[in-house]
Amino acid sequence: MADNATHHYISSFFLVGIPGLQDFHCWIGIPVCLLFSLTMLGNSIIIITIKLEPSLHQPMYFFLCMLAMNDMALASSTAPKMLDIFWLDAHWIDFDICLAQLYFIHTFCIIESALLVAMAFDRYVAICIPLHYTTLLTTTMVIKMGLASVLRAIFMVLPGPFLIRRLPYYTEYVINHAYCEHMAVVKLASANTHVNRTYGISVALSVMILDLGLIATSYLKILQAVFRLSSQHARSKALGTCAAHVCTILVSYTPALFSFLTHRIGKKVPPSVHIIFASLYLLVPPTVNPLVYGIKTKQIRDQVIGLFFLNKKISEN
């Protein structure tokens, strides 16, 4: 603890977990552990498959590989501490570690959103201007787009921990959440938090509006191009290449929008409901994404079966 004239600055926070459901924490930890395990396994399979199969060395799959790595990082920044809370009653977290967790969670979420935009652009170029696909989306361009996604997230989230660090925390140390979330930490400060609140909502709205706007624009252009095609088979094939990406967008943004709205305007929503959805937002998309792409994308499905199952059969014979 650091002293000043009349107060003690707190040095750690107490993460409650899910308020009102503490008696069920042991059971809640089971699906959390399962989701985390499936995330690490599923995304590892996607990355290994893309790396080992030369036919998948294309922009669409490079973006998918980036998404898989980001999903693993996002799940790793939240699930281990949640399991500590649910199974080991390890509720305390150091102030600086809490800020680090907060920073990484929000950074990975913004990277995820940017990668979904990049993947929408990939589908737009592939369907609307296919003759320019190889010249526009070169390996260098894909790397630049990936780096831009990371740098945007880093610099957008960077002010957050510093703005929190300047606030005094004297008496309130209980965070009614399963992890360190920006607004949940800001609310505990013993000072005016208008700047922090404005910053938080500005970043969230700018990312959602910009990224969703770009994704919507890409798909409007894609739909226009698809419906100009005379062949029904060609239409189905073109839309089929977008199916996995659309599913990923829905899985990623639906719980995010619900969590964002309930946190700010859903006053009558029980805290436990909000925290469950906020946790699902971080744990479900990383788990579902590799399953969606594995099932919906024939190239990946065939290569996974070939790499992991046919080889096994051959070795048994």
Q: What is the reported pLDDT for 260?
A: 66
Model pTM score: 0.88
Q: Which amino acid is at 287?
A: T
Taking residues 39-68, what's their average pLDDT?
90
In the chain, the percentage of residues whose pLDDT exceeds 70 is 89
In the chain, the percentage of residues whose pLDDT exceeds 90 is 45
Q: What is the reported pLDDT for 8?
A: 55
Cα–Cα dist 103/92, whole Å: 18
Residue 1 pLDDT greater than 60, yes or no: no
Q: What is the reported pLDDT for 53?
A: 83
Nearest alpha carbon to residue 152 among 200, 195, 196, 207: 207
Q: What is the reported pLDDT for 6?
A: 46
- Helices 59-88 and 271-296: crossing angle, nearest 10°? 140
Residue 141 pLDDT greater than 50, yes or no: yes
Cα–Cα dist 274/204, whole Å: 17
Structure tokens at 272: 């436990």
Residue 164 pLDDT greater than 70, yes or no: yes
Q: Which CATH architecture has domain 12-310?
A: Up-down Bundle (1.20)
Length of the chain: 317
Nearest alpha carbon to residue 173 among 276, 96, 95: 95
Nearest alpha carbon to residue 158 among 209, 102, 115: 102
Q: What is the 3 state secondary structure string of the chain?
A: CEECCCCEECCEEEECCCCCCHHHHHHHHHHHHHHHHHHHHHHHHHHHHHHHCHHHCCHHHHHHHHHHHHHHHHHHHHHHHHHHHHHHCCCEEEHHHHHHHHHHHHHHHHHHHHHHHHHHHHHHHHHHCHHHHHHHCCHHHHHHHHHHHHHHHHHHHCHHHHHHHCCCCCCCCEECCCCCCHHHHHCCCCCCCHHHHHHHHHHHHHHHHHHHHHHHHHHHHHHHHHHCCCCHHHHHHHHHHHHHHHHHHHHHHHHHHHHHHHHHCCCCCCHHHHHHHHHHHHHHHHHHHHHHHHHHCHHHHHHHHHHHHHHHHHHHC
Mean pLDDT computed over every residue of the chain: 85
> Which residue bears the tokens 């107060």?
7
For 203-244, the pLDDT digits (tens) are 988 998 999 999 989 888 888 888 777 777 767 776 776 777
- Helices 139-157 and 59-88: crossing angle, nearest 10°? 30
Q: What is the reported pLDDT for 241?
A: 66
CB 253 within 8 A of CB 209: no
Q: Structural domain boundaries of the chain?
A: 12-310
Residue 187 backbone dihedrals phi, psi, to 5 degrees: -60, -20
How distant, in Å, are the alpha carbons of 1, 16, 175, 185, 200 from that of 180?
20, 11, 8, 7, 14
User: pLDDT band for position 2 (50/70/90)?
Assistant: very low
Residue 172 pLDDT greater than 50, yes or no: yes
Of the spans 48-57, 64-73, 285-294, which averages the highest pLDDT?
64-73
Taking residues 21-37, what's their average pLDDT?
93
Residue 63 pLDDT greater than 80, yes or no: yes
For 87-121, the pLDDT digits (tens) are 999 999 999 999 999 999 999 999 999 999 999 99
Cα–Cα dist 47/59, whole Å: 14
- Helices 194-227 and 95-128: crossing angle, nearest 10°? 20
Cα–Cα dist 48/66, whole Å: 12
Nearest alpha carbon to residue 300 among 33, 1, 65, 111: 65
Nearest alpha carbon to residue 80 among 179, 210, 205, 183: 179
For 185-196, the pLDDT digits (tens) are 998 988 888 999
Residue 262 pLDDT greater than 70, yes or no: no
